[in-house]
Amino acid sequence: MRISDFQQHIRDRYFATDNARGVAGTFLWLAEEFGELAQELGNHAKGKPDPEALAAEFADCLAWMATLANITGVDLEKAIHDKYIKDGGPKGTK
């Protein structure tokens, strides 16, 4: 699946609700998902990994990023290409 396909899937399924919620409310949902990801990463670091839960939280974070991109008009695939692929990507370390 391409990033653009995933972003379109999220748009098709959730755009009306997400757009009505707005950027601020949607960002709060993303922040909550980052918290849940942080918990799963903490469990992983403590030697108590739950691979399925960790994968689900990564997926949730990506979905909420796609949602924010949709309601702000950002094409994620293009943005990623322009930032990280085009012209060899950014110089230096990340």
Percentage above 70 pLDDT, the chain: 99
Q: What is the pLDDT of residues 31-71, one digit of tens each?
A: 999 999 999 999 999 999 999 999 999 999 999 999 999 99
91: in domain: no
51: in domain: yes
Q: In terms of DSSP H, where are the helices of 46-84?
A: 51-72, 76-80
- Domain housing 70: 22-84
Band (pLDDT 50/70/90 cuts) for residue 90 is confident
CA distance 60 to 54: 10
43: in domain: yes
pTM over 0.85: yes
67: in domain: yes
Across the chain, how many H-helices and E-strands are there? Answer: 3, 0
Q: Stretch 74-85: mean pLDDT, rounded?
A: 96
Q: What is the pLDDT of residues 16-25, one digit of tens each?
A: 999 999 999 9
Q: Based on the structure, what is the number of domains in the chain?
A: 1
Query: What pLDDT does residue 94 have?
Result: 65
Tell me if 64 sits within 8 A of 33, measured CB to CB: yes
